[in-house]
């Protein structure tokens, strides 16, 4: 690792702020901890203390950062989305940001797209036929569009005859709508299916190798994912055609 030109050791809060600022996507506590372990062990000496930061300490630093940012009224703050954190500008400043980025036309989803997305979100993992049952129309085109937009993806095959694919929402879906987790959606208790136990959140006391492995899985290529999902949808529709012809 290259040498450091740094004299003053930063506080955990400052590190968290810098990491969130430089990151290109929301950061989980795990990823922040991984960066701290790598820097701590890589630089050694007084840096070793950072390698020992716990999830709780990092979470505390995030909370302190969040509070300090809010109090200082800087036009930005820390938000929690998809169980990860990101910096974002205050909504009140949004019109100015849109003017700057010349994004006056925000990408808005159509009503059918939103309805389909809502069904997938609450009922995931769910079959295409289930969505069509609820909406009463074919969702082929709209589902394809949502997959293209990386808001929906295939999760796995179901155990039903013909092993049809099951669909779910993506990380991008959570980011786009600024949702931390599906459970935070209104009425989710009522609309959601009970999740199987193994899909529930695990507690986080991982070692570094475990951390690395998990993060490796996390950063699966989203684009490839979209291609796979489109292929799965194609397969579904082909099966149907054959059935219709037969």
Residues that bind other proteins (CB under 8 A): 2, 4-6, 18, 21-26, 79, 86-89, 91-95, 97-98, 101, 103, 105-112, 114-115, 117-119, 121-122, 133-138, 145, 149-151, 172, 175-179, 185-187, 190-191
- Range 25-47 burial, b when 16+ CB lie within 10 A, else e: bbbbbbbbbbbbbebbeebeeeb
How far is residue 126's CA from residue 165's CA, in Å, rounded to a whole number? 8
Query: ∠114-122-144 over CA atoms, to 5°?
Result: 45
Question: Three-class SS of residue 147?
Answer: helix
Q: Cβ distance 131 to 119 under 8 Å?
A: yes
19 contact, one of other proteins, its own copies, none, CB 5-8 Å limit per kind: its own copies
23 binds its own copies (CB under 8 A): yes
Looking at 13-21, 165-173, 191-199, 234-242, which segment touches its own copies (CB under 8 A)? 13-21
Using CB under 8 A, which residues numbered 25 to 84 contact its own copies?
Answer: 27, 31-32, 34-36, 38-39, 42-43, 47, 50, 65, 68-69, 71-76
Tell me whether residue 10 or residue 162 sits nearer to its own copies (CB atom): 10
Q: Cβ distance 225 to 219 under 8 Å?
A: no
Closest contact distance (angstroms) between CB of 57 and its own copies is 14
26 contact, one of other proteins, its own copies, none, CB 5-8 Å limit per kind: other proteins
CA distances from 236 to 123, 137, 154, 168 (A): 19, 16, 11, 15
* Binding footprint of its own copies, residue count (CB under 8 A): 58
Tell me whether residue 102 or residue 203 sits nearer to other proteins (CB atom): 102
Question: Three-class SS of residue 77?
Answer: strand
Q: Cβ distance 42 to 1 under 8 Å?
A: yes
Contact residues for its own copies, defined by CB under 8 A: 1-2, 4-11, 13-19, 21-23, 27, 31-32, 34-36, 38-39, 42-43, 47, 50, 65, 68-69, 71-76, 87, 89-101, 104-106
């Amino acid at each position: 690792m290259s040498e450091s030109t740094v004299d003053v050791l930063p506080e955990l809060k400052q590190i968290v702020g810098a990491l969130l600022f430089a990151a290109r996507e929301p950061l989980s506590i795990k990823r922040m901890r991984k960066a701290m372990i790598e820097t701590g062990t890589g630089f050694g000496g007084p840096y070793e203390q950072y390698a020992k930061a716990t999830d709780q300490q990092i979470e505390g630093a995030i909370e302190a950062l969040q509070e300090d940012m809010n109090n200082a009224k800087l036009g930005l703050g820390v938000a929690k989305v998809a169980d990860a954190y990101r910096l974002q500008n205050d909504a009140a400043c949004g019109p100015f940001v849109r003017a700057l980025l010349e994004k006056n036309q925000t990408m808005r989803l159509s009503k059918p797209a939103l309805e389909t997305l809502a069904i997938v979100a609450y009922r995931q993992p769910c079959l295409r036929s289930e969505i069509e049952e609820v909406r009463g129309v074919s969702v082929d085109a709209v589902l394809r569009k949502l997959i293209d937009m990386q808001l929906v993806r295939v999760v796995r095959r179901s155990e039903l005859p013909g092993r049809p694919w099951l669909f779910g929402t993506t990380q991008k879906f959570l980011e786009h709508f600024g949702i931390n987790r599906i459970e935070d959606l209104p009425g989710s208790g009522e609309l959601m299916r009970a999740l199987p136990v193994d899909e529930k959140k695990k507690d986080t006391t991982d070692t570094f190798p475990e951390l690395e492995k998990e993060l490796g899985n996390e950063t699966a290529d989203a684009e490839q994912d979209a291609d796979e999902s489109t292929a799965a949808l194609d397969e579904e529709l082909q099966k149907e055609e054959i059935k219709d012809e037969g």
